[in-house]
Amino acid sequence: MAANAYSPIKRKFAPWDDPSAKPFIRFENVTKRFGDFVAVDDLSLDVYEREFFSLLGPSGCGKTTLLRMLAGFEKPSEGRILLDGQDISGVPPHRRPVNMMFQSYALFPHMSVEGNIAFGLKQDKMPKADIEARVQEMLRLTKLEPFAKRKPHQLSGGQRQRVALARSLAKRPKVLLLDEPLGALDRKLREETQFELMDLQQDLGLTFVIVTHDQEEAMTVSDRIAVMDHGQLVQVASPAVIYEFPSTRYVADFIGDVNFLSGKVSAVSGDDIDIKDDSLACTIRAHADNPGAKAGDDVWLAIRPEKMRISLDQPADTATNCVAGEVWDIGYLGDVSVYHVKLENGNVVKSTVANQTRLVERPISWDDKVWLTWPRDAGVVLTA
C-alpha cells in the first residue's frame, strides 16, 4: 500500500496503520484448492476488531471461499486462520464463535421468525427467560416485532433479510460474516439497509466481514475493502484510498468509472512524472506517487471522469494535460451528464459534469469539438 504514505485521507478508525494493534482475524498464507482449481492462492490478510471489512471482486475470485473458510464450511488446503490469536483451522463450524448471514438467508422454513432467531441460542443451552429476552431484543432491533409468529414464506424479501440478520446477530458472535447480504433487495431498500447495517455494527461493536460484488455497497459500508482477483488480494485499503489511489488498472476499473491514457515515461523530475504517447499531441504530467515508474516504462494514467474538465473553448495551454476530441455520446443521468469524447487517436474518454443548473438544453452537444483538461494531481500513474 504505497499510496498510504502519500495519502491525504485521514480516518478516525484506522488500527491497520497502528503497528502495535493486534489483528483479530488473521489469514496466514492460506491456499484453498478444489481439485485443480485454486480458489484462494497463498493469501495473507489481517482484519481488526470492530472493523467493517469488505471482500470485493467478480464472481469466482475466491471471496466467498475465503468467507466460508472463516465460517468453517471449507478447510484451507494450506496455511492457517487465526481468530483472536487462536488457530481455528480445525474447529468445526458449530464450535466457532462466528456467525454467518447467508446469501439465500437459509431461514428454517418450518420455524417461525421467533423460532429462527432463538435457534442459535437454544444450542447454547441458554435459560428460557434469557432466550425470550434476547429474541425480543433482536425483534426490536430489526423492527420485526409484528411478524414474530409468522413463518418465513409469509414474509417479504426485505423482512426475510432482517430475520436472517437477527438470527445471525442473536448469539452476539465475535465476528459476523455476511455473504452478499443485500443482493436480493431492490435498490432503495438496499441503500437504506446499508446504513442500518453500519449503525448496527457500530452499536453492537462487532467485527463484520462482508462479501459483495457491488462496489457501491462496499464503498458505503466498509472501513476497509479488499479487492480480490483470481484468489489473490489486489489491494486492501479504505474506500477513499481504493478510489483515489488504486494500485492497479484492475482495481481502478473495478471501482467506479475510469479513463486510461497509456504512454511511456519520458522524464521523472522530483514530484513530477511526464508521460508521452505518439498518438497524443500533449505531454501528460502527473504526480509521481508511484515510485516504481522509471523513464522508458510503459505506464497508464488512470483518471476518473469527474476529474476531467470538458470545455468548448480551447484552453491556453494545450501542450500539457489537454486532449481534443468530438462528443460521441451523451449520457444524461439527471444529477450528472456523462460525455463520451472520441479523441483524435480513436480512443473514447469519459467526462462527467454535475448538472448544477436546470437546463433542458445543455451547451455541449453531439459532434461538438471539445477540449478535455485535468490538473496534475487528478490522475494516478499505474505500472500494472
188-to-88, 157, 161, 179, 194 alpha-carbon distances in Å: 38, 13, 14, 19, 10
The contacts of residue 20 (CB under 8 Å, 6+ apart) are none
130 is a contact residue toward another protein (CB under 8 A): no
71 is a contact residue toward another protein (CB under 8 A): yes
State the Cα–Cα distance between residues 58 and 39, nearest whole angstrom.
13
Q: How far is the CB of 83 from another protein (least distance, A)?
A: 14
Three-class secondary structure of residue 374 per DSSP: coil
Select 68 or 190, whichever has its Cβ closest to another protein.
Answer: 68
Q: How far is the CB of 152 from another protein (least distance, A)?
A: 10
Size of the site for another protein (CB under 8 A): 28
Residue 69 and residue 81 in contact, taking contact as beta carbons nearer than 8 Å: yes
205: left (phi over 0), alpha (psi -120 to 50) or beta: left
174 is a contact residue toward another protein (CB under 8 A): no
156 is a contact residue toward another protein (CB under 8 A): no
* Region from 14-22, 55-63, 67-75, 337-345 binding another protein, contact rule CB under 8 A: 67-75
State the Cα–Cα distance between residues 368 and 301, nearest whole angstrom.
25
Select 84 or 216, whichever has its Cβ closest to another protein.
Answer: 84
201 is a contact residue toward another protein (CB under 8 A): no
382 is a contact residue toward another protein (CB under 8 A): no
79 is a contact residue toward another protein (CB under 8 A): no
Q: How far is the CB of 40 from another protein (least distance, A)?
A: 18
Q: How far is the CB of 272 from another protein (least distance, A)?
A: 53
Residue 325 and residue 340 in contact, taking contact as beta carbons nearer than 8 Å: no
State the Cα–Cα distance between residues 62 and 20, nearest whole angstrom.
29
Interacting residue ranges for another protein, rule: CB under 8 A: 71-73, 92-96, 98-100, 102, 104, 106-110, 119-120, 123-124, 151, 153-154, 167-168, 171
